A and B are shown apart, each in its own frame.
Chain A
Amino acid sequence: MRPRPHRRAIGSRGRRVIGVAPPGHTNRLAQRLEALGLPRLSVTPRGEARVIGVCSWFERTVVAAPRFTRALGGRRHEFGPDGPDRIELLPGVSVLPLREKNPSADPDAARQAVLLLGPELLNGEALRGICDDAELDHAATVARADVARLFDDAAADRLAMTVRWLAEDAEREAVRVSELTSLSHELATNYEELSLLYKLSCNMTLDQSPAAFFADSCAELQAVGGLGWVALQLVEDEPRLQQMAGRNFTSEAPHDTATLRRLGVRLIERHHDDHEPRIDDDPAATLGPDAAALRGGLLAIPLVRDRRVLGVLFGGDRTDGRPIDSVDAKLCASLGNSLTIFLENLMLFEDARGLFLGTLHALTAAIDAKDHYTHGHSERVALVSMLLARAAGFDEQQTQRVYLAGLVHDVGKIGVPEAVLCKPGRLTEAEYDQVKRHPAVGANILRDIRQMDDLIPGVRYHHERWDGRGYPEGRAGEDIPIFGRVIAMADAFDAMSSDRTYRKRMAPDAVLDEVRAGAGTQFDPELAARFLELDFTPYHEMFRRQRGDAA
């Protein structure tokens, strides 16, 4: 017989016995309780009672009530071997410890108990069967608990009241749990957003390739927002975003780049005065037939800085089929804000980089203007230094810094009189001393430009020699900073390869022979070995181009 709803059971002086058995006890006991339609409890050796295998009405009305759980938990120490013979858990609800026939000596052994809600089963065969199955002393159990007094009419009334009270408690709990669940869902969504924005903010360094950042951002937003696709369209007419102008960074977008670009332009035009996020339920109607494939609606977030649209973030087709709503818009707009900040940083970075490179080239032009004979020397040294640095295993960032150091390595020649620099014959000792000052002068010129701090060793030490016979300090071996060693080699190579006021250029093979001969005396032997393996095609091309320019 399956149990009925509790009101019926209580109304007829419901007869319920709930066995409390240790976990892992005989399956027969469990089966018997199940056959009687009775829920059972298991008590761990620590005395923690947990309701298992309960029927649904009991689960809903009693077990689900926090008051029942609290009562069970609060009195769990009484389930131990020294506990009382009877425990009234709640009014009308008692726990009756079952006596073992052969008490175990093991203090950790679990104890048996029965939760009582009615007398008949207790006195009848059912309890006897339960006790037999669990090898418990039925007679002793019943005698010691003075069972008869437990089940008078007053007790039954108290029980009915308690069960009703527990049922109300369970109902309130159910409401609380459902509210908690819905809050937890909302919280989970917030976590996703938070983790997305956190991840993006960590990625928002300018070291990373902007293209990779945008593509990652789209993919993350698609996954977190549960969107079918996401696309980012940038404007084409911003020179500082030239690198990515007009490009699309998409994640499974239903449209090709050209279509998205058209849609983006149309949206930007349409909303040039209004930079709010847009949710468009029927894109085909508002944006024309191009947008017909956007069946699931369209979300568009303009990326705006100083009233200027830098791009548009699109999304659409929620994977769960729900229409796009304001929560989606909020998530996309937060991401849009981050992307806008990134774009702005990118443009500021481009400004700074442009100014920096412009300054370097102006310096280089100043040197070249002074010494026509070495026209293009700085750029060639920069190029060869870069090739050598890369071959020597510098990372890309360091390689770029070597290039810049190569560009400005001779800036100190500004401080050497033209008469000396361009003198066709042999220099006097005094004149040569003036020339030898140019590395230190160059280092001084650059001293106050913080962004060039790391380039200065390349300038100051590009005339040092591996064997210590160079200038200005006569440093030797690895005491010479690596930038200095790299540029020294590129500088000597270019000097030998080009015409000078006092001699003609050497043949390429002869130059390489000189490099080979100078390894370990003039040059760092390891760098020289890498140098001899270089492919000089770019160098010769640059040279040809420069001669063409000059002509």
Chain B
Amino acid sequence: MTTRPAPILICDDEAHIRHVLTVKLAEAGHPTLCAADGEEGWALAEAYRPAVVVTDVKMPRLDGLALARRLRDRLDPAPALVLLTGQGATLTADALDGLTVAAQFGKPFSPRELVRCVRDLIAAPSAPGGAA
């Protein structure tokens, strides 16, 4: 069996964010998938079982938190979750309502830090989907 690295799924309705993350993650050797909203993100996640999902919180059709809950409830193992939040704000435990979030980045975020975070998540032995 070949060990193909599990992809990183990027969900954001802003195209420039998707482009920047795709380029930077690809440069770091991670295959990526892109979705412009939560529903599209869910379809891709179900088909390709990403190791990490990087998702914007505010998106049309299905927002980031609803997508995250669906990933947690319906995928096993659930992918590690990285949230992109607006205006530098991070979500409180209340707002997350029990969701396990590996990291949060407030926009504007540093692509360098995000790539490092994804790399650490994949390298971590407990990374969901990382060993599969």
Judge if A187 is at the interface, Cβ distance under 8 Å: yes
Q: Is the CB of B108 within 8 A of A195?
A: yes
Q: Is the CB of A187 within 8 A of B19?
A: yes
Q: Which residues of B contact A194 (CB under 8 A)?
A: 108
Judge if B74 is at the interface, Cβ distance under 8 Å: no
With the chains together, A527 CA to B36 CA distance in Å? 61
Judge if A142 is at the interface, Cβ distance under 8 Å: no
- Asked if A202 meets B109 with Cβ closer than 8 Å, knowing A181-B23, A191-B20, the reply is no
Contact indicator per residue, chain A 165-193, by CB within 8 Å of chain B (1) or not (0): 00000000000000011011101100110
Interface residues of B in 16-59 (CB under 8 A from A): 16, 19-20, 22-24, 43, 47
Judge if B110 is at the interface, Cβ distance under 8 Å: yes
Q: Which residues of B contact A187 (CB under 8 A)?
A: 16, 19-20
Judge if B4 is at the interface, Cβ distance under 8 Å: no
Q: Which residues of A contact B47 (CB under 8 A)?
A: 23, 44
Judge if A455 is at the interface, Cβ distance under 8 Å: no
Select which of A183, A185, A198, A224 is within 8 A of B108 by beta carbon. Answer: A198
Judge if B5 is at the interface, Cβ distance under 8 Å: no
- Asked if A188 meets B108 with Cβ closer than 8 Å, knowing A44-B47, A202-B88, the reply is no
Judge if B129 is at the interface, Cβ distance under 8 Å: no
Q: Which residues of A contact B113 (CB under 8 A)?
A: 195
Judge if B77 is at the interface, Cβ distance under 8 Å: no
User: B132: shortest Cβ distance to chain A, in Å?
Assistant: 15
Interface residues of A: mostly helix, strand, loop or mixed?
helix
- Asked if A192 meets B111 with Cβ closer than 8 Å, knowing A44-B47, A180-B19, A184-B23, the reply is yes
Q: Is the CB of A188 within 8 A of B88?
A: no
User: B27: shortest Cβ distance to chain A, in Å?
Assistant: 8
Judge if A223 is at the interface, Cβ distance under 8 Å: yes
Interface size on A (CB < 8 Å)?
A: 19
Closest to B110 in A: A195
Q: Which residues of B contact A195 (CB under 8 A)?
A: 108-110, 113
User: A139: shortest Cβ distance to chain B, in Å?
Assistant: 33
Closest to B23 in A: A184
Q: Is the CB of B23 within 8 A of A185?
A: yes
Interface residues of B: mostly helix, strand, loop or mixed?
helix
Interface size on B (CB < 8 Å)?
A: 15
Q: Which residues of A contact B108 (CB under 8 A)?
A: 191, 194-195, 198
Q: Which residues of A contact B23 (CB under 8 A)?
A: 181, 184-185, 188
With the chains together, A185 CA to B21 CA distance in Å? 10
- Asked if A223 meets B112 with Cβ closer than 8 Å, knowing A198-B88, A202-B88, the reply is yes
With the chains together, A224 CA to B111 CA distance in Å? 10
Contact indicator per residue, chain A 36-53, by CB within 8 Å of chain B (1) or not (0): 000000001010000000
User: B40: shortest Cβ distance to chain A, in Å?
Assistant: 11
Closest to B47 in A: A44
Contact indicator per residue, chain A 9-44, by CB within 8 Å of chain B (1) or not (0): 000000000000001000000000000000000001
With the chains together, A383 CA to B112 CA distance in Å? 49
Closest to B105 in A: A195
Q: Which residues of B contact A44 (CB under 8 A)?
A: 47
Judge if A414 is at the interface, Cβ distance under 8 Å: no
Q: Is the CB of B110 within 8 A of A224?
A: yes
User: A4: shortest Cβ distance to chain B, in Å?
Assistant: 27
Judge if A196 is at the interface, Cβ distance under 8 Å: yes
Q: Which residues of B contact A180 (CB under 8 A)?
A: 19
Q: Which residues of B contact A188 (CB under 8 A)?
A: 20, 23-24, 111
User: B100: shortest Cβ distance to chain A, in Å?
Assistant: 25
Q: Which residues of B contact A191 (CB under 8 A)?
A: 20, 108-111
- Asked if A184 meets B22 with Cβ closer than 8 Å, knowing A44-B47, A198-B88, A202-B88, the reply is yes
Q: Is the CB of A196 within 8 A of B88?
A: no
With the chains together, A46 CA to B42 CA distance in Å? 14
Contact indicator per residue, chain B 60-101, by CB within 8 Å of chain A (1) or not (0): 000000000000000000000000000010000000000000
User: A309: shortest Cβ distance to chain B, in Å?
Assistant: 30
User: A192: shortest Cβ distance to chain B, in Å?
Assistant: 5
User: A295: shortest Cβ distance to chain B, in Å?
Assistant: 25
User: A222: shortest Cβ distance to chain B, in Å?
Assistant: 12
Q: Which residues of B contact A224 (CB under 8 A)?
A: 110, 112
With the chains together, A192 CA to B113 CA distance in Å? 9
With the chains together, A236 CA to B48 CA distance in Å? 61
Q: Which residues of A contact B19 (CB under 8 A)?
A: 180, 183-184, 187
Q: Which residues of A contact B111 (CB under 8 A)?
A: 188, 191-192
User: A164: shortest Cβ distance to chain B, in Å?
Assistant: 30
User: B7: shortest Cβ distance to chain A, in Å?
Assistant: 14
Contact indicator per residue, chain A 45-83, by CB within 8 Å of chain B (1) or not (0): 010000000000000000000000000000000000000
Select which of B20, B43, B109, B112 is within 8 A of A184 by beta carbon. Answer: B20
Contact indicator per residue, chain B 1-18, by CB within 8 Å of chain A (1) or not (0): 000000000000000100
With the chains together, A181 CA to B109 CA distance in Å? 19
Contact indicator per residue, chain A 520-543, by CB within 8 Å of chain B (1) or not (0): 000000000000000000000000
User: A376: shortest Cβ distance to chain B, in Å?
Assistant: 49
With the chains together, A46 CA to B43 CA distance in Å? 10
Q: Which residues of A contact B88 (CB under 8 A)?
A: 198, 202
With the chains together, A241 CA to B19 CA distance in Å? 44
With the chains together, A180 CA to B22 CA distance in Å? 11
Q: Is the CB of B16 within 8 A of A192?
A: no
User: A78: shortest Cβ distance to chain B, in Å?
Assistant: 20
User: A38: shortest Cβ distance to chain B, in Å?
Assistant: 20
Q: Which A positions have Cβ atoms within 8 angstroms of B?
A: 23, 44, 46, 180-181, 183-185, 187-188, 191-192, 194-196, 198, 202, 223-224
- With A185-B23, A191-B108 given, name 17 new contacts (CB 8 A): A44-B47, A180-B19, A181-B23, A183-B19, A184-B22, A184-B24, A187-B16, A187-B20, A188-B23, A188-B24, A188-B111, A191-B110, A191-B111, A194-B108, A195-B108, A195-B110, A198-B88
Leading 4 A-B pairs by shortest Cβ distance: A184-B23, A195-B110, A184-B19, A194-B108
Q: Which B positions have Cβ atoms within 8 angstroms of A?
A: 16, 19-20, 22-24, 43, 47, 88, 108-113
A-B contact pairs, 17 of them (CB 8 A): A23-B47, A180-B19, A181-B23, A183-B19, A184-B16, A184-B19, A184-B20, A184-B22, A187-B16, A187-B19, A187-B20, A188-B23, A188-B24, A191-B20, A191-B108, A195-B109, A198-B88
